Chain A
Amino acid sequence: MRRSAYLLHHLLDGAVGETRTAIVDGERSLSYGDLLRYVEGCADALRAHGLTPGERVAIALPKSIEECWAIFGVSRAAGVFVPINALLKPAQVRHIVSDCSASIIITRRESLDTVRAALEGLSIKTILCVEDIVPRAMPATGVSRERAVGEDLAAILYTSGSTGRPKGVMLSHRNLLAGSRIVIQYLGITEKERILSILPFSFDYGLNQLITVVQQRAVIVLFSFRLGDEIVRALRDHAITGLAGVPTIWAILTKAAPSLARTRLPALRYITNSGGAVPSETTRRLRELIPDTQIFLMYGLTEAFRSTFLPPDQVDVRPTSIGRAIPECEVFAVTADGRRAKPGEPGILVHRGPTVSLGYWNRPEDTAKVLRPNPFVPATQGGDIVCYSGDLVIEDEEGYFSFVGRADAMIKSSGYRISPSEVEEVLMATGAFRQVAVIGLPDPLVGQKVHAVAVARGEQGDAAAILQAVAEKLPAFMVPRAIEFVDGLPTTPNGKIDYPLLAQQRSAHAGG
């Protein structure tokens, strides 16, 4: 009898010898049978290098077939995988590896020198190159003995908050499997699906695509693009049935992909959005361009993996809504004084259910702010731990939620969460400023654009030259669009920089 899956790699149970295609990566593809062989081979290599259960394995690879099998391979070896976004610069890679004290790094030969230099001096067991990992000839068909249970950590996904450096959100195997099962249910994902993957696997939303595909024995097509038309061509040529994107992708498809209007995409069953609100004008345009495709507007935060979705038949009715709780979960809004918000009253979105994460790696104070006891059921009476999102929402009379804003200074740009203080730290390190504050300003394409307000140290420096230096230290999505020089920064009565005021002053005339 087949076991029911309780660890991530159990989703590959029964794949021995399966010839069905799992992954398409440019000219290459991999069957489910071969995926399993590589997963076993990767796990063998990790164990041979001394990986013990629960140790972290950082995966520093571009989106590729190798990244897919490495994720499952780490799970097979009872390790914890930590995907690193390929856009990150050495300083951020080092932060992640050292913060979670990863013991093994998986990369590729081409990046070996860069990775080695970035991690100089850190105590790690080894850096493995995917080129040196060989697939197992014939994986055993029986049920393997496991060294982990479903409650153990499966992954750590790094994400930013309102302050400090990125924090690692801890996800158990049960979290990942619940997220996959739930999304499969409401998107109706079957083995017929051919999903285009353009989001990184370091992002819960992108990772979940891979897991749902493997669970359903569907096909994932890995893809990166420069121009909108390339997405359209990929959708057509690979007969893609499902596409997941962030608001920026929809801006590109509706404004900068002329071929979309004249390309028939009969296979495209659905698209999903997460990582920020889609302007209603963009949603309307998408409905015109791909009228037969269902649009799912979703919302999720890494700390609760996935959270809400709006059924496609509601998109025309309430185009700016984030919908209702995903299956198996409950979502409600809580006011500042701890009451359940009434319809129309803003409150912090609180999420409960099987996708609530295990908190932030090694950060008990930060975890305690986000994961709290159920406010309405005491723990002594069976109350669970719930997730406080920090996102302000309003529930309407019919129980649909809408996003209002953040309760803190966190910036959200192109689906990425950006901590102002992390950008400020790099700006200050240039030595050009006495003081600097980084804020998010409304932008029609990326949601919020990163903007720096600065007091120069001595003579005002050349903003372009400073930004060029900053762009070498930070990934492009974190680099400020502009540096605005001022004589002084406004402060609150207790002497802190008044971020809300800075943003308000600029948003008022930032319409253009």
Chain B
Amino acid sequence: MTTDTAMDTAAIGGAIRQYLQERFPMLGTVDNETPLLGSAAIDSLGFLEIVTFLEERFGAVLDDDDFDADNLKTPATLIALVQRKLS
């Protein structure tokens, strides 16, 4: 059963992609596979901002260890991280 507050993948993905596109205009059009970690559009501070955004927007409580390169590769890996944290 899904609750009213639980967000589905599409909604999470939409919010994350929109945020990334607006905050990091140099990414261009963002899809789920847009490389984040290897791109020049996001610097070290940008990744901290992204994680802060995920916490504030979705109420996901991230542990220290979530701040890992594997979780920050693409929008798809960010979506998966949020879902893992909310489930």
The chain A residues found within 8 Å of chain B, CB to CB, are 225-229, 248, 251-252, 255-258, 261, 414, 445-446, 463-464, 467-468, 470-472, 476, 479, 481
CB of B47 within 8 A of CB of A227, answer: yes
Assembly CA distance A257 to B72 (angstroms): 14
Q: Does B33 contact A (CB under 8 A)?
A: no
Using C-beta atoms within 8 Å of the partner chain, give the interface range for chain B: 20 to 34
Q: List 26 A-B contacts (CB under 8 A).
A: A226-B37, A226-B44, A226-B47, A227-B69, A227-B72, A228-B67, A229-B67, A248-B44, A248-B45, A256-B47, A256-B48, A258-B63, A414-B45, A445-B45, A445-B49, A445-B52, A446-B45, A463-B22, A467-B25, A468-B26, A468-B28, A470-B25, A476-B26, A476-B41, A479-B25, A481-B23
Assembly CA distance A92 to B22 (angstroms): 24
The chain B residues found within 8 Å of chain A, CB to CB, are 21-23, 25-26, 28, 37, 41, 43-45, 47-49, 51-52, 63-65, 67, 69, 72
* Residues in A whose Cβ lies below 8 Å from that of B48: 228, 251-252, 255-256, 445
Knowing A467-B22, A468-B28 touch, does A261 contact B64 (C-beta < 8 A)?
A: yes
Secondary structure dominating the interface of B: helix
Q: Separation in Å of the B34 CB from the closest CB of chain A?
A: 14
Determine the residue in chain B with the shortest Cβ distance to A443: B49
Assembly CA distance A83 to B7 (angstroms): 49
* Residues in B whose Cβ lies below 8 Å from that of A225: 44
CB of A258 within 8 A of CB of B37, answer: no
Determine the residue in chain A with the shortest Cβ distance to B49: A445
In the complex, which of the residues A228, A261, A463, A471 contacts B26, with contact meaning CB atoms closer than 8 Å?
A471
Q: How many A-B residue pairs have CB under 8 A?
A: 58
Assembly CA distance A225 to B37 (angstroms): 11
Determine the residue in chain B with the shortest Cβ distance to A248: B45
* Residues in A whose Cβ lies below 8 Å from that of B72: 227
* Residues in A whose Cβ lies below 8 Å from that of B69: 227
Knowing A251-B48, A446-B45, A476-B43 touch, does A256 contact B67 (C-beta < 8 A)?
A: yes
* Residues in A whose Cβ lies below 8 Å from that of B67: 227-229, 256-258
* Residues in A whose Cβ lies below 8 Å from that of B43: 226, 476
Determine the residue in chain A with the shortest Cβ distance to B26: A471
* Residues in A whose Cβ lies below 8 Å from that of B25: 464, 467-468, 470-471, 479
Beyond A227-B67, A445-B48, list 11 extra A-B contacts (CB 8 Å). A227-B47, A227-B69, A228-B48, A228-B67, A251-B48, A252-B44, A252-B48, A255-B48, A414-B45, A464-B25, A472-B26
Q: Separation in Å of the B10 CB from the closest CB of chain A?
A: 20
Among A248, A252, A256, A257, residue most surrounded by chain B Cβ atoms (within 10 Å): A256
Determine the residue in chain A with the shortest Cβ distance to B21: A464
* Residues in A whose Cβ lies below 8 Å from that of B44: 225-228, 248, 252
In the complex, which of the residues B28, B45, B63 contacts A252, with contact meaning CB atoms closer than 8 Å?
B45
Assembly CA distance A100 to B66 (angstroms): 47
* Residues in A whose Cβ lies below 8 Å from that of B21: 464
Q: Separation in Å of the B60 CB from the closest CB of chain A?
A: 15
CB of B51 within 8 A of CB of A256, answer: yes
Assembly CA distance A228 to B46 (angstroms): 11
* Residues in B whose Cβ lies below 8 Å from that of A476: 26, 41, 43
Q: Separation in Å of the A48 CB from the closest CB of chain B?
A: 35
Among A258, A414, A446, residue most surrounded by chain B Cβ atoms (within 10 Å): A258
CB of B65 within 8 A of CB of A258, answer: yes
Q: Separation in Å of the B21 CB from the closest CB of chain A?
A: 6
Q: Separation in Å of the B85 CB from the closest CB of chain A?
A: 15
Assembly CA distance A251 to B26 (angstroms): 23
Q: Separation in Å of the B39 CB from the closest CB of chain A?
A: 10
* Residues in A whose Cβ lies below 8 Å from that of B26: 468, 471-472, 476
* Residues in B whose Cβ lies below 8 Å from that of A256: 47-48, 51, 67
* Residues in B whose Cβ lies below 8 Å from that of A227: 44, 47, 67, 69, 72
Q: Separation in Å of the B3 CB from the closest CB of chain A?
A: 26
* Residues in B whose Cβ lies below 8 Å from that of A414: 45
Q: Separation in Å of the B71 CB from the closest CB of chain A?
A: 11
Assembly CA distance A471 to B24 (angstroms): 9
Q: Separation in Å of the B31 CB from the closest CB of chain A?
A: 15
Assembly CA distance A251 to B23 (angstroms): 19
* Residues in A whose Cβ lies below 8 Å from that of B64: 258, 261
Among B21, B44, B49, residue most surrounded by chain A Cβ atoms (within 10 Å): B44
